Structure 1
Amino acid sequence: MSNINDVARLAQVSKATVSRVLSGSRGVKEDSRQAVLRAAEILNYTPNAIAQSLSSQSTNCIGVICATEHIQQSTGYLQALEKQLKEHRKHLLLRFANDAESVLNAVDELSHGLCDALVVVGARFTLPALDGDVVLIDCLSASTANSVQCDRVFAVETAVHYLCSQQRRHIALVNFSGGDAALQTIDGYRQALHNYVVPFNRQLVIENEPSVRIALQKLVNSGVKFSALLVTNDSQAQEAITMLNQYQLFVPEKVLVFSLDGSTRLPGTNAIPAIEYSLENIARRAVALLLGERHGHESDLVRGSLLLA
């Protein structure tokens, strides 16, 4: 007799997706729903068998695959997600991953009866093909439409507006190493410079370089003048400040560093200007996607706010 594993395998989706389709839950992509229904019909997976399977397959656990590199950011996301899930009487089952293969391994493990749905958080690498119902949070390359992302265009436009107001018009950018986030960031950067009648200088942009140290070496060695530096997150900002001071490009006197995602205050220093995102807001939207409770008019682009030193 066929079981839920057979249906999931034939439909090429997770068991959680099969359960959600057959229980009538919302939030499942139409093509996935149709694939599950076709597989159930082909395998003669009867309603009685389905009901018995569903009664034992629900775990009230949400699998969270944490792919963020920085422990502080990871902790913030996990705390926000756990708080939101607890309000819905759901539990968080955690796995870590640092590349596409380990994401697939975690998905395979968590999909075998351990949890009802999956979330991938903060991947800074190209993700493998995932089921359409896997929710992505702040991943640079979104492989599904079921994602909550930061509004990168708005973030860069806000940053450039602030830097120009501080008379810093030679603005360098160390962009994301790739993915949708990199494309959105450079688009926002170009548009913001255009709005302030600042010429776009390709030498001021470092792309496809995951190491901020090497990116800064390229920038400094190019000899191009810059009075401000945009980096993608707080960790990069702190490393950039140390390096710039070593190059005698003292911060903030000669170069004003701006983080496009968060800022911390180190002992004896001021917090650097940054775009700050509400992790609670991001987690709330992600859980709404997981539970099929998102309203049609709601956007999954989260805008940050300007945080000044």
Structure 2
Amino acid sequence: MANITDVSRLANVSKATVSRVLSGSRGVREESRLAVLQAAEQLNFRPNATARSLATQATDCVGIILSPQLGNRLASMLPLLEGALARVGKNMLVRFADGAQQQQQAVDELLGGRCDGVLVLGTKQPLNPDSRLIQLDGVSESDNLNLCYDLTFATESACRFLLGKGHRQLVLMLDDKSSPAGKSAIQGYQQALQQQSLPYNSQLVIDGTDNQQALLGLLNRYLPFTALVVQQDAQAADAMRLLREFNLHIPQDVSVISLEGSALASQLTPPLTCIEYPSERLAQESVRVLQAQLAQSLRPADEQQKFQGRLVVRESVVAR
């Protein structure tokens, strides 16, 4: 098995130069760097991870923290994050934590020597500011950098698509309309209505925590509607099932559009039109930004970076 001495001999450089090249340190001539990399590849040399960590004071590991109750949308990002991290030579350590206290404890533990940085998915509570921490779809009030889905844009886009098809009574079903995400969605809903000079009816905005009960209450109040905008694909599946029990056909009687666009969307009957969540872009950008913050030791950024979804038209929406 080749070692660092073999690489240094083949590359005709010192062992210290080999160590600097393989650890990514600066101050090495390009000619020497290329010689080391070619020698390492020729000898199939892979530096010991533990030794490299001791030399560079880096773990080459990024922690991922998420709630066990997290929806399919964010949980499905784990393989995308793993792939993005692998491409930059990082490993992934996943921790499940619920609530502000557990999540902060998990952050402190991982940043205490186990990981170089941490990505927190979907936290609803502000976490202590740290340049090694990035939140994905976290609370907007946090002092940490938050990369998030532009739910205002997604909701406005979904509603404008329906309005363009002639729909005028639109129901908006949310996880929690009092949450920051819920308020963002309502803002997009109102903006779309205002552009068409249509009134806002708060009775058509419902909480979907108990999907069937929320929609059942709406049906029992005999409020007319021709289209349903849901926050999650699972809500669409439940709504379609209940609407059929009331002899309402999808999409002939009620059109349905989702703000998620998971794998479930294409499996429903009819296949679900949606504003697709930008999972791959969020995963790639979160890793890139975290790498930049770790390399430059940037101070925590008190800002959000929003990512827009894209409209995927299937068969659950028809014109009126």
Do Structure 1 and Structure 2 share a fold, with TM-score over 0.5? yes
Which residue identity lines up with residue 66 of structure 2 in the other structure? C
Q: Which range is displaced more, 84-93 or 101-110?
A: 101-110
**250 and 105 in structure 1: CA distance in 2 versus 1, 3 angstrom threshold:** farther
Partners in 2 of 1:182 and 1:252 — Cα distance? 25
**181 and 60 in structure 1: CA distance in 2 versus 1, 3 angstrom threshold:** same
Match of 1:97 in 2: 97
Secondary structure of the residue aligned to 2:64 is strand
Deviations along 1:173-202, one digit per CA (max 9) or x if unpaired, are 112414322221111110100112222111
Contact 1:67 1:120 in 2 (8 A): no
Contact 1:65 1:95 in 2 (8 A): yes
Which residue identity lines up with residue 311 of structure 2 in the other structure? L
Q: Which range is displaced more, 114-123 or 95-104?
A: 95-104
Deviations along 1:4-26, one digit per CA (max 9) or x if unpaired, are xxxxxxxxxxxxxxxxxxxxxxx
**256 and 215 in structure 1: CA distance in 2 versus 1, 3 angstrom threshold:** same
Contact 1:141 1:179 in 2 (8 A): no
How far the C-alpha of 1:266 sits from its partner, in A, is 5.8
Contact 1:140 1:179 in 2 (8 A): no
Match of 1:151 in 2: 150
Partners in 1 of 2:261 and 2:139 — Cα distance? 16
Match of 2:218 in 1: 219
**251 and 162 in structure 1: CA distance in 2 versus 1, 3 angstrom threshold:** same
Aligned: 1:233 with 2:232: yes
How far the C-alpha of 1:71 sits from its partner, in A, is 6.5
The 5 A counterparts of 1:1-309 are 57-67=57-67, 69=69, 72-123=72-123, 126-133=124-131, 134-139=133-138, 143-177=142-176, 178-207=178-207, 210-263=209-262, 264-265=264-265, 269-292=269-292, 300-309=305-314
Contact 1:146 1:289 in 2 (8 A): no
Secondary structure of the residue aligned to 1:244 is helix
Partners in 2 of 1:305 and 1:216 — Cα distance? 26
Partners in 1 of 2:220 and 2:103 — Cα distance? 37
Q: Which range is displaced more, 136-145 or 278-287?
A: 136-145
Deviations along 1:100-142, one digit per CA (max 9) or x if unpaired, are 343234224323321111111134xx32533343211123555
Secondary structure of the residue aligned to 1:167 is coil
How far the C-alpha of 1:172 sits from its partner, in A, is 0.6
Deviations along 1:187-224, one digit per CA (max 9) or x if unpaired, are 111010011222211111114x5332332233223321
Partners in 2 of 1:286 and 1:268 — Cα distance? 31
Which structure 1 segments of 5+ residues have no match? 1-52
What is the TM-score normalised by the length of structure 1? 0.73
Contact 1:65 1:103 in 2 (8 A): yes
Partners in 2 of 1:306 and 1:277 — Cα distance? 10
Partners in 1 of 2:252 and 2:216 — Cα distance? 20
Partners in 2 of 1:114 and 1:59 — Cα distance? 7
How far the C-alpha of 1:253 sits from its partner, in A, is 2.0
Partners in 1 of 2:307 and 2:190 — Cα distance? 21
**What percent of counterpart residues are identical?**
33
Deviations along 1:223-259, one digit per CA (max 9) or x if unpaired, are 2111111111112111221122223333222111110
Secondary structure of the residue aligned to 2:76 is helix
**220 and 130 in structure 1: CA distance in 2 versus 1, 3 angstrom threshold:** farther
Partners in 2 of 1:114 and 1:217 — Cα distance? 49
Which residue identity lines up with residue 86 of structure 1 in the other structure? A
How far the C-alpha of 1:156 sits from its partner, in A, is 1.2
What is the TM-score normalised by the length of structure 2? 0.70
Contact 1:203 1:222 in 2 (8 A): no
Which structure 2 segments of 5+ residues have no match? 1-52, 315-320
**64 and 268 in structure 1: CA distance in 2 versus 1, 3 angstrom threshold:** closer
The aligned length equals: 253
Partners in 2 of 1:151 and 1:267 — Cα distance? 25
